[in-house]
Structure 1
Amino acid sequence: MQNTTNDHNKLLVLHKPKGYVVTRSDERGRKTVYDLLPNWAFDDGWMPIGRLDLESKGLLLFTRDGQIGNALTKPGGCKKVYEVWVRGHVTDTHISEAKRGVESKHGLLKALVVEKLGTGGAKTKLKIVIDEGKNRHIRRLFGAMKDPKFGTPLKVLELKRVSIGSFGLDIGSGEWRFLSGEEENALIHDL
């Protein structure tokens, strides 16, 4: 297959489905995000900016420019928005706690914004905004809080990243595309 990248493209986006690991190769033989991209993405050194764990889905950016990658991942560099389903009843107290921060063995975990979008049975749908991304940040943040009714830890059942900075996810699951020059400039300008 012909290489379709050119030097003008600095960023590409993948809508990562569940069940793919964000790594160049997996010692356990699991599917990686490179299975969803053309071969040249791997061969030309396109690297993911940040991570989404195996069970998470949504917006994942790739670049060959280390400076852009670092700028988008450094704490406070860029706001990331997630839609999350949590098992358990998320109360106003949980929301204040998440915004204030919860101490964990991985340091202080907190969210800038936590907004309730809806409920379904014993689940709560939230919009969460963070500007840093420690490993499994949102899962660990809610896992450190308890359901007031059952006393069990809250559990993130579904997590989808819907935007990074000014760029919002606009393609179907498993699809990818290059960002336009305008989208790249807007995103980099946000930093």
Structure 2
Amino acid sequence: MHSTMSDSKKLLVLNKPKGYVVTRSDELGRKKVYDLLPDWTFNDGWMPIGRLDLESKGLLLFTTDGKISDALTRPGNCIKVYEIWVRGHVTDEHIAEAKRGVESKHGLLKALVVEKIGTGGAKTKLKIVIDEGKNRHIRRLFGALKDPKFGTPLKVLELKRISIGSFEPDIESGKWRYLTVEEESMLLDAFS
């Protein structure tokens, strides 16, 4: 896939499947996001902006520009939207607590928006919006909340990042593409 005039020279996006680590090298020999990208992304120093852990999936941006990376990962700068499935019954109290914030050894973990969008068996589907991304932020936030009936921590079973800033592309799992110049400006104009 060659870059065209309307492609960004600075940003590309991968729709990361589960089971890939976001790292340049992995001593455990696990599959890496670079296995899904052309070799030149690794060789030319394209770096992931932020992280998605092994079991998480969804949108992951890459750039060669450290300033862009800093701008998009600075807390408060960039809204990220996730769809998650949680084991356990998520109550209105849980939702209020997640929005207020939960103290953890990783600092205050909170979500700006928590919206119930479905249930299935003993699981709840939620839409989550955050504007920062501490390590395993959403998993740890819900792990700090207890199921009212069983007293066990809520557990995030599935996590998918569906948008970054105003950027919500429709792109198949495991595939990548350049952002368009328009998408790039939509993302970056906020910081210029």
Structure 2, unpaired ranges of 5+: none
The 8 Å contact of residues 8 and 184 in structure 2, kept in 1 or not, is answered as no
Q: Does 1:54 align with 2:83?
A: no
1:1-191 matched pairs, under 5 angstroms: 4=2, 8-191=8-191
Q: For the residues of structure 2 that align with 1:180 and 1:117, how far apart are their CA atoms?
A: 31
Task: Tell me how far 1:5 sits from its aligned partner.
Answer: 5.2
Q: Displaced runs of 4+ in structure 1, greater than 3 A?
A: 3-8
The 8 Å contact of residues 86 and 125 in structure 1, kept in 2 or not, is answered as yes
Q: Deviations over 1:114-167 (max 9, x none)?
A: 000010000000000000000000000000000111111000000000000010
The 8 Å contact of residues 19 and 55 in structure 1, kept in 2 or not, is answered as yes
The 8 Å contact of residues 166 and 190 in structure 1, kept in 2 or not, is answered as no
The 8 Å contact of residues 15 and 169 in structure 1, kept in 2 or not, is answered as no
TM-score by length of 1: 0.96
Point out the more displaced range, 7-16 or 85-94: 7-16
Structure 1, unpaired ranges of 5+: none
The 8 Å contact of residues 13 and 179 in structure 1, kept in 2 or not, is answered as yes
**How many corresponding residue pairs?**
189
**Percent of matched pairs sharing the same residue:** 80
Q: For the residues of structure 2 that align with 1:113 and 1:150, how far apart are their CA atoms?
A: 25
What residue identity is the alignment partner of 1:38?
Answer: P
The 8 Å contact of residues 21 and 54 in structure 1, kept in 2 or not, is answered as yes
Task: Tell me how far 1:8 sits from its aligned partner.
Answer: 5.0
The verdict on how the C-alpha distance between 1:118 and 1:8 changes in structure 2, with shifts beyond 3 A counting, is closer
TM-score by length of 2: 0.96
Q: For the residues of structure 2 that align with 1:155 and 1:8, how far apart are their CA atoms?
A: 38
- SS of the equivalent of 2:186 reads helix
- SS of the equivalent of 2:96 reads helix
What residue identity is the alignment partner of 1:114?
Answer: V
Q: For the residues of structure 1 that align with 2:118 and 2:188, how far apart are their CA atoms?
A: 33
The verdict on how the C-alpha distance between 1:172 and 1:8 changes in structure 2, with shifts beyond 3 A counting, is closer
The 8 Å contact of residues 8 and 178 in structure 2, kept in 1 or not, is answered as no
